[in-house]
A = this chain, B = another copy of it.
Amino acid sequence: MSAATSIDAAFRALGDPTRRRVIEQLSLRPASMTELSRPFAISLPTLSKHLGILEKSGLVRSAKVGRVRTYQLVPGRLKSAESWLTEQRTLWERRLDQLDEYLATLKEEEP
């Protein structure tokens, strides 16, 4: 996956409240599907579909130990999405600062 494709998949995966709740839980600790299902009133097959989307997006990975599959957060992909957003906000705030300075200059020039 290219950088653009991977960030696409990350943002799309985050555009769903169930998947964000899963990420919130995995930010605290790794968890099995049964543990992850507790706060939700959804079936295991539906949760499994969401977990599949999260794994495919690279936000989450899983490993099977014995009979239990454990899910954990992959922070790199979250970090890329966060960095992109921070960059846009910074650019936007810089532009606002420049407008502020410009307005101040205009005021100083007033008779």
B-contacting residues of A (Cβ < 8 Å)?
4, 7-17, 20, 23-24, 27-29, 73, 75, 78-79, 81-82, 84-89, 91-93, 95
**CB pair A4 B27 closer than 8 Å:** no
**CB pair A11 B17 closer than 8 Å:** no
**CB pair A82 B86 closer than 8 Å:** yes
**CB pair B78 A20 closer than 8 Å:** no
**CB pair B89 A75 closer than 8 Å:** yes
A interface majority secondary structure? helix
**CB pair B20 A16 closer than 8 Å:** no
**A-B contact list, 12 entries, CB within 8 Å:** A8-B16, A11-B11, A12-B15, A14-B81, A15-B15, A23-B88, A24-B88, A27-B89, A28-B91, A73-B92, A75-B93, A85-B85
Q: Collect the chain B residues with CB atoms within 8 Å of residue A8's CB.
A: 15-17
Q: Collect the chain B residues with CB atoms within 8 Å of residue A9's CB.
A: 15
Knowing that A11-B12, A11-B15, A12-B15 are A-B contacts, what are 8 other residue pairs whose CB atoms are under 8 Å apart, sorted by A's residue number? A4-B17, A11-B14, A15-B15, A20-B84, A81-B85, A82-B85, A82-B86, A85-B85
